[in-house]
Amino acid sequence: MAASPPLAEYNLTGMKLEKTWRWFGKNDTISLSQIKQIGIEGIVTALHHIPNGEVWPVKAIKKTQNSIAKYDMKWSVVESLPVHECIKFGSVERDKFIENYKKSLMHLGECGIKIICYNFMPVIDWIRTELHYKLPDGSETLYFNFVDFVLFDLCILKRSAAKHEYPKTIVRKAQAKFLTMSDNDKNQLINTIIIKTQGFIDGINADNPEEAVTIFNTLLAKYNGIDDSQLRKNLKYFLEAIMPIAEKYDIKMCIHPDDPPIKVLGLPRIVGSHADIQWIFDNVPSPSNGLTFCTGSLSAGVKNDLKTMIKHFASRIHFAHLRSTQQEKEGSFFEAEHLKGSVDMHHMIKSLLIEIERRGGSTKIPMRVDHGRRLLFDFNIDHNPGYPLIGRMKAMAEINGMSIAIARSLITF
Ligand code: DNO
């Protein structure tokens, strides 16, 4: 029998995920030159300095693109091109913001940036109640404690309907815990939920916790009377308006799932389950209508079957966020190590590689490790919640190694 030809380590006949990294621009404490050393190919970023709703000019896009190119990397994915709240709750001003959105898309398309991650979560992007949850090994991770979250809704925001929207046992625990909390504990919770987790995306500017709560309640009030069905109509309206531009430039709009994918704060939420996502593709079938497959967000929905979802939606996936979660009792969860927790990462990576091969191998799916634990020197450097250097670098090494091993085992010698 003839010996198999030697296979160069990276000769994976195109069966590769593109290694990308979320970078927050010039103010990021992690520089592009450091990111390059980690072996990253593509950058995931946004023009964070441009206020939500305004047009992204070509000049500003090119500036960021060039600064990335200097390090021999490319701007692979926009995360996020934020959708203005007026579009989400459907105010009279929405058409103006949709026009601006279309212009930004056109400009991005002209610059050759074709993968756009966005979300349609009203008021609040992602939710965590604790940013320094200690794991037994001394590292820290992000935590969503359901009792704390209900307490925030019920006793801090004082939303009257909240009492009836959560299980009675959790409501009782939340009320009891609230009585034991110091002002400092309460302020910390407000800071975490409203300011710190949102601040680096599209945050609320508030000088103190009371003001943050007032602004937040005003935003929540905009959704009075808007249910899931209305929010779906607003999403459809938005997508139908932007799809012609997206198609023209071969842009893939990749909606990000709700994080966590549960009902919160009495708000409508429409991107949490298989059926939710199916609705989006059934109602807007354009090939430019795509999905960010975020294994972390989706896995926090205990009913979600990620193996079925990744197979079923494979052709719509143009960007992947890889991370895992560990469920606890009563709806709480923490962000587990990337190869642990409830996500079968081997299965997720294998499914993505098979999809890349089905597309002919030339269109790689960009993947970034989503979040990372805080460990080692991460404790000495400031970073956005969930985005430390060492923790993410470790996760990227693990995922990349696993991905190469899977690809090699899939290649027939
Ligand atoms: C936080 C993230 C979110 C997410 C955006 C996508 O780390 O999961 O900021 O990237 O919602 O639009």
Mean pLDDT, the chain, rounded, equals 94
For residue 119, the ligand 1 atom closest to its alpha carbon is 12
Query: Does residue 386's CB lie within 6 angstroms of at least one atom of ligand 1?
Result: yes
* Best of 22, 79, 124 for a ligand 1 pocket test (most atoms within 8 Å of beta carbon): 79
Nearest CA to ligand 1 atom 1: 126
Give the span between the Cα atoms of 227 and 91, in whole angstroms: 15
Contact of 298 with 306, CB cutoff 8 Å: yes
294 is catalytic: yes
Return the pLDDT at 10: 55
Cα–ligand 1 centroid distance for 286 (angstroms):
24
370 catalytic per annotation: yes
Give the distance (Å) from ligand 1 centre to CA of residue 125.
7
Q: Catalytic: which of 84, 107, 318, 321?
A: 321
Residue 412: per-residue pLDDT:
65
Lowest mean pLDDT among 236-250, 298-312, 354-368, 384-398: 354-368
Q: What is the pLDDT of residue 57?
A: 98
Q: Is the CB of 126 under 6 A from ligand 1?
A: yes
Nearest-angstrom CA–CA distance, 272 and 277: 7
Convert the pLDDT of each residue in 136-149 to its tens digit. Answer: 999 999 999 999 99
pLDDT of amino acid 155: 97
Collect all residues with Cβ–Cβ distance below 8 Å to 127 and sequence separation of at least 6: 144, 149, 193, 197, 259, 260, 264
Which position among 107, 256, 318, 383 bears the catalytic label? 256
pLDDT digits (tens, 9 = 90+) for 168-179: 999 999 999 999
Residue 162 has pLDDT above 70, yes or no: yes
pLDDT in tens, 31-74: 999 999 999 999 999 999 999 999 999 999 999 999 999 999 99
How many whole angstroms from 97 Cα to the centroid of ligand 1?
Answer: 21
What average pLDDT does range 146-174 have in this prediction?
Answer: 96
**Confidence band (pLDDT; 50, 70, 90) for 199?**
confident
Say how many Å lie between the CA of residue 411 and the centre of ligand 1. 34
pLDDT at 1: 54
Q: Do 342 and 328 form a contact (C-beta atoms < 8 A)?
A: no
Is residue 4 very low, low, confident or very high in pLDDT (cuts 50, 70, 90)?
Answer: low
CA distance 300 to 364: 26
> What is the per-residue pLDDT across 5-23, written as a single tens digit (0 to 9) for each?
554 555 666 788 999 999 9
Per cent of the chain over pLDDT 70 is: 96
Catalytic: 371? yes
